[in-house]
Amino acid sequence: MTITARDIEKTFDRYPALNGVTLEIAEGELLALLGPSGSGKTTLLRLIAGLEFPEKGQILFDDQDMTLAGAADRRVGFVFQQYALFRHMTVARNVAFGLDVRKRAQRPSKEEILKRVDELLKLVELDGLGKRFPNQLSGGQRQRVALARALAVNPRVLLLDEPFGALDATVRKSLRKELRRIHDATGVTTIFVTHDQEEALELADRVAILNLGRIEQVGTPTEVYDAPSGPFVCGFVGAANRFEGDVQAERFTGGGLTLAAPGVANGSATAFVRPHDLVPAADGDGFDVVAHRVTAQGPVVHIEGLTLAGLPFEAHFARENAQGLAPGAKLRLAPSKAYVFPA
**Chain residues in the site for another protein (CB under 8 A):** 49-51, 70-78, 80, 82, 84-88, 97-98, 101-102, 149-150, 152-153
The residue among 50, 48, 198, 52 whose CA lies nearest residue 207 is 198
CA–CA distance, 50 with 340 (Å, rounded to integer): 40
* Paired residues of 23 in beta bridges: 5
Using the minimum distance from each CB to another protein, give the nearer residue, 32 or 157: 157
Rounded to 10 deg, the angle between the 169-186 and 139-151 helix axes is 20
Using the minimum distance from each CB to another protein, give the nearer residue, 149 or 316: 149
CA–CA distance, 234 with 271 (Å, rounded to integer): 10
Using the minimum distance from each CB to another protein, give the nearer residue, 192 or 313: 192
Using the minimum distance from each CB to another protein, give the nearer residue, 14 or 88: 88
Q: What is the Cα 41 distance to its own chain's centre?
A: 10
Q: Is the dihedral of CA 257, 315, 223, 242 positive or negative?
A: negative
Q: How far is the CB of 140 from another protein (least distance, A)?
A: 18
* Paired residues of 69 in beta bridges: none
Q: How far is the CB of 46 from another protein (least distance, A)?
A: 9
Q: Is the dihedral of CA 120, 125, 131, 132 positive or negative?
A: negative
Q: How far is the CB of 128 from another protein (least distance, A)?
A: 23
Using the minimum distance from each CB to another protein, give the nearer residue, 73 or 320: 73
Q: How far apart are the first and last CA of the chain?
A: 40
Using the minimum distance from each CB to another protein, give the nearer residue, 59 or 240: 59
CA–CA distance, 227 with 224 (Å, rounded to integer): 5
Using the minimum distance from each CB to another protein, give the nearer residue, 119 or 202: 119
The residue among 229, 227, 236, 220 whose CA lies nearest residue 39 is 236
Q: How far is the CB of 248 from another protein (least distance, A)?
A: 53
User: If 0-12 CB within 10 Å is exposed, 13-18 middle and 19+ buried, where does residue 57 land?
Assistant: middle
Q: How far is the CB of 49 from another protein (least distance, A)?
A: 6
User: What's the half-sphere exposure (Cβ side, CA atoms, 13 Å) at 222?
Assistant: 0
Q: How far is the CB of 13 from another protein (least distance, A)?
A: 9
CA–CA distance, 188 with 327 (Å, rounded to integer): 51
Q: How far is the CB of 333 from another protein (least distance, A)?
A: 49
Q: How far is the CB of 310 from another protein (least distance, A)?
A: 46
Using the minimum distance from each CB to another protein, give the nearer residue, 70 or 267: 70
Using the minimum distance from each CB to another protein, give the nearer residue, 72 or 249: 72
Q: How far is the CB of 179 from another protein (least distance, A)?
A: 18
3-class SS of residue 216: strand
